Structure 1
């Protein structure tokens, strides 16, 4: 039976937030001082007095943030979690005790922020307005602890107006080179400016020597205490990690290798909070192994090796928006129940991502690839993917990878989804690329969305 996407009437979400959160608009304006101007003294002083963990990284920062929030909440703290971008609904960005805020609350405070910006920061960017709104909501809800994901880089990001008690760097890849620099060292140096003097700065085990040079350069300026996650694992955590890995191998893909790395980073951050701020966080002393396990197993981050059954078919959503992210996805695919199967793959990217390097990796698991694009002024034009492959026929590796593949260009992503579902019904379907594309695809399939905060 031919598959058709659900009627738009069933999945469309209409609200006054639609125009504001349209992904097709917005300008990047850098500088944390600008958010201080927008917030003004009272709000600015209020938000920096909330104990905060600030998390940056090219990949893994969302998952790591979710782990930290879940652990803190499970040990009795009233938490706030700020992440970006959202997959389906804007309220996902701002969570209180693990749950997305009410849409009316977001509308109310967003209106206040926009009116305020007319007086104090008329050229406020989309991200600045959203971040200022989030911070006001966290103050209004009287949270005890904030986990905040950095938007872009670190040094000049709006979130860097906070005063984190612990900062975290999850990974470093070549991205946003126009803003952050063209080497891993420069990018790591920029991201490391979220660290603070005499405060712990947690560095993931994923960083290579080049990236660590950038960390060293910046922390010599900030005076932060660098803590390498792989060196800071008490026996309790190692036992817990092994237990969770065993459970995962039996029942799900939720804790893939990358998630275990992110989990180790998150546990290191929580351990540093406990050790450095004993008087402030008595609730964490001692950390309860049962609570830790429950917090970790209840943490979900949709859109990362996210397997759903649609029309009796396995569809895997993965927001591999850069080459390193797709390498992690490949590793998990090759260890999963799909390891001996080629897939149909749909790919879309934004034009500021390193999509050319990702193209080399796609054929490793695919028998057919459909190139598409998202409705955004930042979208990479779908036809240019195949053009790049054809124009670079002197690159033997690239051409040999694509020799035995069926490749199509379908600019309309909805038509691309339906085509893949109908023309290749017996193969697993992988939908990958930009986070915006993953969210739009999940939404058009009419999937129930939850960022599992139980």
Structure 2
């Protein structure tokens, strides 16, 4: 069994919340996660965008930066990035083999995500990064990334997700995400709704963590269009004006503000992280499939919206459009259809390849409240149907899950000449 086959086999162990496995692996590896400064980011939506923007800021300041995110779009290598370059195949296979040997000395096998987390921490150590920005996989309290003591952490927002693991209310989910807060470590919070915010603030008080709140400690405005926005940020110590964000979408204003607030929290450790570097990072940040325009004529966008909150934010950015949609079987498909249908001139429902996808017939049943949709069995055929209908004033939007976005991105690269992924 080669390294990739071994890792893929771990996926069928499912999700196991807890830190025993990751702690064992990292202890056996010499605790690589303690070798460099980290920043930890949790939240329902937007956390990957915050990671990407803070990463770009630190690189603009001249630092060597690791970035760990999940899941990947096309290739596993995308989860492990240093200075905008994914890990190469040989190094990744070597890291898998290293931790495979450690894992096989123990009765309890690690999960797929636990092994990926360990690989990221050790690779960053071996490459001697100046900093690593770490995205939580799920929740926070028992997520395998939650072994670090970061310089700062952030919680972007709270909505219903993974309710079988995290709880069925926003307050319960907030409790899990607030589990990344560490004693004395500053926490940036974008969530403004009182119920989940009170849970986060209570956890922060218990741990003497100073919270920096969107709307109180820092504010932003975003003017312009979806693809040409102008961002302004204000806090007690920093003002940025008229910044052109590299990431499209008005919802990125909130994420950009959180990233800047994080940059402010870590400036004493990174003195070259000046206002100019922060601005250049915002302007140059790349994060594929976040309202990403991948073709010009006809205009084609790909977005990873994968829950009702994300779909509502996406719909708010769009005028009339052609929508191709495929979702995962554990998502709230009815509410997602309800959110996107009002902007869809034509709603094309399909399924992505793989065991996690919701069968297209089930998705059609979920969309039953809406008068018009088209059923297409395969994602590539659905994209072809959407391309035939799209025009300059009615773009094609492909969305529904990270897996949909990744497979669509690959189809668009191979069959339609779309640009490759950039990080």
Give your verdict on TM over 0.5.
yes
Tell me the residue number matched to 1:442: 409
Structure 1 residue 174 displacement after superposition: 0.4
Deviation digits for residues 389-417 of structure 1 (CA, Å, limit 9, x no counterpart): 44xxxxxxxx3xx23x2x12223212222
Larger CA deviation: 23-32 vs 320-329:
23-32
Q: Is the 8 A contact 1:33 1:161 kept in 2?
A: no
Tell me the residue number matched to 1:40: 27
Tell me the residue number matched to 1:267: 260
2:165 to 179, 182, 187: 179
Structure 1 residue 318 displacement after superposition: 0.9
Cα distance in 2 for partners of 1:59, 1:451 equals 20
388 and 258 in structure 1: CA distance in 2 versus 1, 3 angstrom threshold: closer
21 and 448 in structure 1: CA distance in 2 versus 1, 3 angstrom threshold: farther
Tell me the residue number matched to 2:196: 211
Q: Is the 8 A contact 1:240 1:293 kept in 2?
A: no
Cα distance in 1 for partners of 2:240, 2:282 equals 10
* Larger CA Rg, structure 1 vs 2: 1
256 and 240 in structure 1: CA distance in 2 versus 1, 3 angstrom threshold: farther
1:230 to 215, 230, 250: 215
When normalised by structure 1's length, the TM-score is: 0.82
Q: Is the 8 A contact 2:58 2:277 kept in 1?
A: no
Q: Is the 8 A contact 2:186 2:210 kept in 1?
A: yes
- Cα root mean square deviation, aligned: 2.5
Unmatched tracts of structure 2, length 5 or more: 221-231
The SS at the match of 1:158 is: coil
Deviation digits for residues 387-446 of structure 1 (CA, Å, limit 9, x no counterpart): 2344xxxxxxxx3xx23x2x1222321222222223556742110110011000110122
Q: Is the 8 A contact 2:28 2:102 kept in 1?
A: no
The SS at the match of 1:84 is: coil
2:276 to 290, 313, 323: 290
Q: Is the 8 A contact 1:195 1:219 kept in 2?
A: yes
1:315 to 281, 291, 300: 300
420 and 16 in structure 1: CA distance in 2 versus 1, 3 angstrom threshold: farther
Tell me the residue number matched to 1:382: 360
1:417 to 383, 407, 411: 383
Tell me the residue number matched to 2:226: none
Higher relative contact order (CA 8 A, sep 6+): 1
Cα distance in 1 for partners of 2:348, 2:286 equals 28
Structure 1 residue 23 displacement after superposition: 11
Structure 1 residue 22 displacement after superposition: 8.8
When normalised by structure 2's length, the TM-score is: 0.88
Q: Is the 8 A contact 2:3 2:97 kept in 1?
A: no
Structure 1 residue 21 displacement after superposition: 5.2
